[in-house]
Amino acid sequence: MEWILNKLRKKDESDNIDIDMSNIPQHIAIIMDGNGRWAKRRNLPRTMGHRAGVETIREIVKTCSKLGVKYLTLYAFSTENWKRPKEEVNALMNLLVEYLRGEVDELNKNNVIINWIGDISKLPSMCQAELIRAKEITKNNTGLMLNLALNYGGRDEIKRGIVNIVKDVKEGKLNINDINEELISSYLDTSKMPDPDLLIRPSGELRISNFLLWQIAYAELWFSDVLWPDFTSKHLIQAIKDYQMRDRRFGGIK
């Protein structure tokens, strides 16, 4: 099956000429979308699209590592994706386990730290176990942090943060006057990371779909019609080059 996928995917080697290595986004977030449509166009089951999408993850993680990106957050399963047929949800969960099992050693060798955001307590226990294992194995690495967003929704994350803030206020650990934007950020799943500088969404959809709602306040947005399984390092590098042309003013003037 692997050879079919390789044959179907456009192999596109990247050239990172004229990329400004002193202005690489610290944190890149990607909404990995379009797997289903990629498969449908080839008369393949949707799950084959997800499988092809995993190949893209491999390539993009490698390229981000090489470029010195510090955080890569990949939207892999949203709080809304539970609405999909049970077979597809199961296939995605199995693919996650397969990916972690198959990839952790290589990622570890490449100094990648594996992490997640989202409420993983609702995932099958096998997924939770593999995530915890992968995080443990890679915890002392110092390279790219790969955040998998799993059962993640921006609104759910904010809700969970609010519940914990209220709890801490009630228990006297926190004073209402101490609640500011920084404190709220520290109660989110992304507490130990900077906000994304660049948000990429392939597949032609021009929406956020509940991803990192709080954190993308000042992210640069980059959209493309390419479906995720066809997304290559070349597209990533184009996104970074475009990002480098943007004038980030953060509400100020230059």
Q: Using CB under 6 A as the criterion, which residues of the chain lie in contact with ligand IPE when the complex forms?
A: 31-37, 75-78, 81, 92, 203, 205, 207, 209
Q: In whole angstroms, give the CA distance from residue 250 to residue 238.
A: 23
CB 66 within 8 A of CB 140: no
CB 123 within 8 A of CB 148: no
Instruction: Give which of ligand IPE, Mg ion, none residue 209 binds (C-beta under 5 to 8 Å, depending on kind).
Output: ligand IPE
CA-nearest of 152, 155, 151, 120 to 135 is: 120
Instruction: Give 92 or 237: the residue with its C-beta nearer to ligand IPE.
Output: 92
Q: Over 65-114, what HEC string results? A: HHHCCCEEEEEEEECCHHHCCHHHHHHHHHHHHHHHHHHHHHHHHCCCEE
- Residue 38 annotated as part of some ligand binding site: yes
Q: In whole angstroms, give the CA distance from residue 192 to residue 204.
A: 31
Q: How far is CA 67 from CA 5, 211, 232, in A?
A: 26, 24, 14
Instruction: Give 63 or 73: the residue with its C-beta nearer to ligand IPE.
Output: 73
Q: In whole angstroms, give the CA distance from residue 138 to residue 108.
A: 6
- Residue 160 annotated as part of some ligand binding site: no
Instruction: Give 19 or 213: the residue with its C-beta nearer to ligand IPE.
Output: 213
Residues catalogued as catalytic: 33, 81
- Residue 9 annotated as part of some ligand binding site: no
**Shortest separation between residue 19's beta carbon and ligand IPE, angstroms:** 26
Q: At which residue do the structure tokens 């906000």 appear?
A: 195
Q: Is 27 helix (H, G, I), strand (E, B) or coil?
A: strand
Report phi then psi at 197, rounded to 5.
-90, -35
**Shortest separation between residue 84's beta carbon and Mg ion, angstroms:** 10
**Shortest separation between residue 203's beta carbon and Mg ion, angstroms:** 6
Residues 21-60: x/- map of binding to Mg ion (CB under 5 A)?
Answer: ------------x---------------------------
**Shortest separation between residue 250's beta carbon and ligand IPE, angstroms:** 27
Instruction: Give which of ligand IPE, Mg ion, none residue 76 binds (C-beta under 5 to 8 Å, depending on kind).
Output: ligand IPE
Q: In whole angstroms, give the CA distance from residue 114 to residue 198.
A: 20
- Residue 78 annotated as part of some ligand binding site: yes
- Residue 249 annotated as part of some ligand binding site: no
Structure tokens at 145: 């942090």
**Shortest separation between residue 148's beta carbon and Mg ion, angstroms:** 17
Nearest-CB residue to ligand IPE? Answer: 36
CB 237 within 8 A of CB 213: no
- Residue 79 annotated as part of some ligand binding site: yes
Instruction: Give 63 or 78: the residue with its C-beta nearer to ligand IPE.
Output: 78
Which residues participate in the annotated binding site for substrate? 34-38, 46, 50, 78-80, 82, 84, 201, 207-209
Binding-site members for Mg(2+) are 33, 220
Q: Binding site residues, as ranges?
A: 33-38, 46, 50, 78-80, 82, 84, 201, 207-209, 220
